[in-house]
């Protein structure tokens, strides 16, 4: 079960964190994975780790907010693999602020990556999947797509858009064999979290880490590998009856 043999997958933002875990998990299950990533060094390290474990991965330099870069990246996938079965729109950035403190520049920056990036990669993917009889698009949304989070105005805006894009793609292309779902994590312990704590709470990192962990009723943050396991299921043939859905992975946040 959950094998991805002979599948070609694109994972955006796969140089670290959740994207890296998804790329590694997919490769371990037999997929050939293309890592679309701005950070060439991080992408190369992920490819090296996957190759050392016997998997197949290729790093492709790409800023998902740049239409020309996305076009070139997917042309590279065409040239190397000739098909595309799975797209994981994982690349994203965060922002802290209310509607008052968020600047126009902040909003445009979040929109460019978190919304436009999903649009551009999905737009590039759908025709390729249609030519080969279907495929799976999986978007990384957030519990911010489903509930209000304090001081996350622009970020929540972007992840709400990811949720509605997910459902729109699902209904538009269900007859072409394309499934589209999204995952809605609560806090996940990634290098981003550690960097955020170092920058904003120097000397109080452990205290604030515990505070952020306690937000989840289960008492901790999620792990990238746990999100990757859910992504594997949703992109596998075992999930063939699932489309247009938002899957929380939230340590109980939405239940309380």
78 and 194 both lie in a single domain: no
* 214 in the same domain as 129: no
For the chain, the average pLDDT equals 97
One domain for residues 213 and 124: no
Tell me the whole-structure pTM to 2 decimals: 0.97
* Domains: count for the chain: 2
**Residue range 165-198, pLDDT digits in tens:** 999 999 999 999 999 999 999 999 999 899 989 9
User: How far is residue 181 from each of residues 161, 175, 184, measured CA to CA in Å?
Assistant: 13, 15, 10
Confidence band (pLDDT; 50, 70, 90) for 200?
Answer: confident
Whether 209 has a pLDDT exceeding 90, the answer reads yes
Considering the domain architecture, whether residues 127 and 214 belong to the same structural domain is answered as: no
Please indicate, yes or no, whether residues 92 and 132 belong to a single structural domain of this protein: yes
Asked if residue 82 and residue 202 are part of one domain, the reply reads no
Using the predicted structure, report yes or no on whether residue 255 has a pLDDT greater than 90. Answer: yes
pLDDT of res. 196: 87
Give a yes or no: residue 144 inside a domain: yes
**Do 113 and 231 sit in the same domain of this protein?**
yes
Assigned domain for 162 exists: yes
Residue 106 and residue 182 in one domain: yes
139: in domain: yes
pLDDT in tens, 53-63: 999 999 999 99
Task: Mark whether 193 and 113 lie in a shared domain.
Answer: no
Q: Which parts of 66-152 fold into alpha helices (H)?
A: 67-81, 104-110, 117-131
Question: Which residue intervals of the chain are DSSP H helices?
Answer: 17-28, 40-52, 67-81, 104-110, 117-131, 153-173, 191-200, 205-214, 224-235
Q: Are residues 68 and 153 in the same domain?
A: yes
Do 213 and 107 fall within a single domain? no
Domain housing 213? 187-221
Identify whether 1 is part of a domain. no
Lowest mean pLDDT among 71-80, 190-199, 218-227, 246-255: 190-199
Residues 30 and 116 in one domain: yes
Flag whether 2 is in a domain. no
Catalytic residues: 155
Average pLDDT of the residues in 72-97:
97
| Domain-embedded: residue 90 | yes
**Percent over 90 (pLDDT), the chain:** 97
What tens digit of pLDDT does each residue of 107-165 get?
999 999 999 999 999 999 999 999 999 999 999 999 999 999 999 999 999 999 999 99
């Amino acid at each position: 079960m959950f094998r991805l043999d002979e599948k070609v997958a694109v994972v955006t933002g796969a140089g670290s964190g959740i994207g890296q875990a998804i790329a590694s998990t997919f490769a371990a299950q037999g997929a050939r994975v293309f890592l679309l990533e701005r950070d060439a060094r991080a992408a190369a390290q992920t490819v090296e780790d996957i190759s050392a474990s016997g998997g197949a991965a290729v790093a492709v330099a790409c800023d998902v907010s740049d239409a020309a870069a996305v076009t070139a990246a997917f042309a590279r996938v065409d040239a190397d693999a000739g098909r595309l079965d799975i797209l994981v729109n994982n690349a994203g950035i965060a922002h802290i602020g209310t509607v008052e403190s968020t600047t126009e520049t902040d909003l445009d920056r979040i929109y460019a990556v978190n919304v436009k990036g999903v649009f551009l990669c999905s737009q590039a993917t759908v025709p390729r999947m249609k030519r080969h009889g279907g495929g799976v698009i999986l978007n990384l949304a957030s519990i911010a797509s489903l509930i209000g989070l304090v001081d996350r105005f622009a970020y929540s805006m972007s992840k709400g858009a990811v949720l509605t894009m997910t459902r729109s793609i699902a209904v538009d292309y269900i007859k072409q064999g394309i499934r589209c779902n999204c995952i809605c994590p609560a806090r996940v312990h990634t290098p981003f979290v550690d960097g955020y704590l170092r920058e904003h709470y120097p000397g109080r990192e452990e205290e604030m880490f515990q505070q952020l962990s306690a937000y989840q009723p289960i008492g901790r943050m999620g792990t990238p590998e746990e999100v990757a396991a859910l992504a594997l299921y949703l992109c596998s043939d075992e999930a063939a009856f699932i489309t247009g859905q938002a899957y929380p992975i939230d340590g109980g946040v939405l239940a309380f």
